[in-house]
Amino acid sequence: MAVLALVDCYVELNSVDMSAYVTAVELDAEVVDLTTTNFGSGGWDERIGGLKSGTIAITFNNDFAATTVDDRLWPLFGTTTTFAIRPTAAAVAATNPSYSGSVLVTELSPVSGSVGDLATHDVTWPVSGVVTRATA
């Protein structure tokens, strides 16, 4: 797999495949930039990475039926739950890595929109702990 159009992402929350409801997903990871510059640095900044953090942002087409979006997300509010994200729904492989970890469900907006809008549900949650990348 080389260049890829995201048409078949896999998104799992709390061990449940939510891909059929997801229209956008983004996993961001970052590290704190710590300056270690000193008088021996030759006039150049020197840096190391500090604490790592991340977020996941997901847009759902909302659904209020049993065992769908609202029914699955509402009980997670205020808790830490697991996630797994892959570029495609195919098996985990070197060309389809899985990124997984835990997130703190800090926000929900189950009803949002204007007259005639599609009922969507956007969330952005902070990662709690390590994000792992698996290729097998």
Instruction: Confirm whether pTM is higher than 0.95.
Output: no
Q: What is the 3-state secondary structure (H, E, C) of the chain?
A: CCCCCCCECEEEECCEECHHHEEEEEEEEEEEEEECCCCCCCCCCCEEEEEEEEEEEEEEECCCCCCCHHHHHHHHCCCEEEEEEECECCCCECCECEEEEEEECCCCCCCCCCCCCCCEEEEEEEECCCCEEECC
Domain coordinates of the chain in residue numbers?
14-35+44-134
42-99 pLDDT, tens per residue?
999 999 999 999 999 999 999 999 999 999 999 999 999 999 999 999 999 999 999 9
Mean pLDDT, range 122-126, rounded to an integer: 97
Mean pLDDT, range 34-49, rounded to an integer: 96
